[in-house]
A and B are shown apart, each in its own frame.
Chain A
Amino acid sequence: MATYSTSDFKSGLKIMMDGSPCNIVENEFVRPGKGPALSRVKYRNLKTGRVIDRTFKSGETVEAADVMETEMSYLYNDGDFWHFMDDETFEQVSGDATAVGEAAKWIKDQDKCTVTLWNGAPLLVAAPNFVELEVTDTDPGLKGDTSGGGGKPATLETGAVVRIPLFVQIGEVIKVDTRTGEYSARVKS
């Protein structure tokens, strides 16, 4: 099993803490007064997203987490699992709702997602920053001529609900920023 010593700690390093894979955010070497050398570390638990502060004895070792980020194509959802494929190796993996999280609202087949794999299984799935989705339902009666104002709610083909400008109608395709969940532009067909 690979291990890292505190002297290897740097931002981005993946380690196992309390049974969870974690990402080191920050590490500072400290030697207080004439006291014991230590590392003051901030790390993010990749399962919960929580950032934790902890000190480590200088030279202490921790287990490395087998975590890697890779670009994968979304294939389909079988009801319980979302399936992804590595375009180069054609290797397929599947993740549950916890792993896919918010991304489930935005992705449709063939979208390129960033999948964080832990021991080969999806731990986190990030949707592309922008996705293009068809409006499947919105109030057609509300007609306006500006893109400003409050807009109206619309249901997209994936089931996600976003606010769109009044002039956008059912059947049109829009671009959404998945990081904010906001309408970005209308896509001309």
Chain B
Amino acid sequence: MTDIENEQWPPTCSAALLHQRAELYQTIRAFFVEKGVLEVETPILSTAASCDLNLDSFSTNLSADQMLYLQTSPEFAMKRLLASGSGSIYQIAKSFRQSEQGRFHNPEFTLLEWYRVDFSLADLIEEMVELLMLCFGQNLAFRTVTYEQLFQQSTDINPHQASLSDLMGYAANQGNPEAVDICGDNLANGLDYVFSQYIQPKLRKDVVYFVTDYPVCMAMLAKLSGEQPVTAKRFEVYFNNVELSNGYEELTDADEQKKRFEHELKERQQADLACVPMDNNLLAALAHGMPNCSGVALGLDRLLMLMTDANSIDEVLAFPIDRA
């Protein structure tokens, strides 16, 4: 007999879910084999981290004087492959974000990320529709709508013209004066707050939404459009009120990318967050020349949740962080 007993050892997902995940991965791999998109693998550890104000990277020590960071997505390394001439690529990658834990979050999670050379954002959206229908095994209702349309419809605010105080005033009227403390003096935070509190919950649950044309302050790693109003060539996917995916027509300009990193680092400094090293390898790859491409990351744990009507991410993970 053993006296080693605890209730933490078994998986939180059912045996059926293990099979569903395996089948999903097979479906995805078969899909990309047929499209001629190459599966790649890149390191989880990197000397650089994401500079994003709202992303918190795990870190570890390589040696006493060298720190490495766990990737928050495989984006930077995959872009280096694209610049080296890999052609279209995809990866199923473990990604890590500190202090993200909840019904839809686990600090360690799985992304499907893929990049299509010479694809516009519209081409990529079309391919994603194809993949989602294959995964769900049925026809789904899809709707492409601009960020501005959704915002204006629900709140009467034009997101391209709104100031942070307009947004915080709206939140206060809706009973959330504390939004000011959460968003700080960051316009993008204010837009994200209002969208997630008052717009996302009102989306139809049975429609897959592709939300496009983001305000410039939310461009992240996306190219900007030429037309007025200038928007970011970025899209997000929402299904059943869950945020499933985020895609860009990728920024290829090294100087502009460096400027955005520097701006993000300044924001981190103002918010008293740890200063992290920006990815100079990515900047060098962009300077060398990355082909025009569009790329997207899709949360596979959330996709499995939606496919199986799971109520919590724990139901689709073998061992969530509390049992890791």
Contacts and interface: CB of A to CB of B under 8 A. Distances in A.
A36 B220 contact: no
Given A7-B99, A7-B101, A30-B102, A37 B54 contact: yes
A34 B54 contact: yes
Contact of A57 (B103, B181, B246): B181
A177 B189 CA distance: 51
Nearest to A30: B196
A53 B236 contact: no
Nearest to B211: A33
B183 interface: yes
B101 A34 contact: no
A35 B246 CA distance: 13
Interface in A1-52: 7, 28-38
Given A29-B105, A54-B176, A37 B100 contact: yes
A56 B178 contact: yes
A57 to B, nearest CB: 4
A58 interface: yes
B192 A32 contact: yes
B195 interface: yes
Secondary structure dominating the interface of B: mixed
Interface residues of B, number: 32
B175 interface: yes
Contacts of B176: 54-55
Contact of B218 (A33, A36, A55, A56): A33
A51 to B, nearest CB: 12
A59 interface: yes
Given A7-B99, A29-B100, A29-B105, A34 B179 contact: no
A36 B182 contact: yes
Interface string B270-292: 00000000000000000000000
Given A38-B182, A55-B176, A55-B182, A32 B193 contact: yes
Given A30-B196, A31-B54, A55-B182, A36 B102 contact: no
Contact of B54 (A35, A55, A56, A59): A35
Contacts of A60: 181
Given A37-B99, A54-B176, A54-B178, A32 B243 contact: yes
Interface of B: 52, 54, 99-105, 175-176, 178-179, 181-184, 186, 188-189, 191-193, 195-197, 200, 218, 220, 236, 243, 246
Given A29-B100, A31-B100, 17 more contacts: A7-B99, A32-B243, A33-B195, A33-B243, A34-B188, A34-B218, A34-B220, A35-B189, A35-B191, A35-B192, A35-B193, A35-B196, A36-B183, A38-B182, A38-B193, A55-B176, A55-B179
15 contacts: A28-B102, A32-B195, A32-B243, A33-B195, A34-B188, A34-B192, A35-B54, A35-B191, A36-B189, A36-B192, A37-B100, A38-B193, A55-B176, A55-B197, A57-B178
3 smallest CB-CB distances across A and B, nearest first, come from: A35-B192, A29-B102, A32-B196
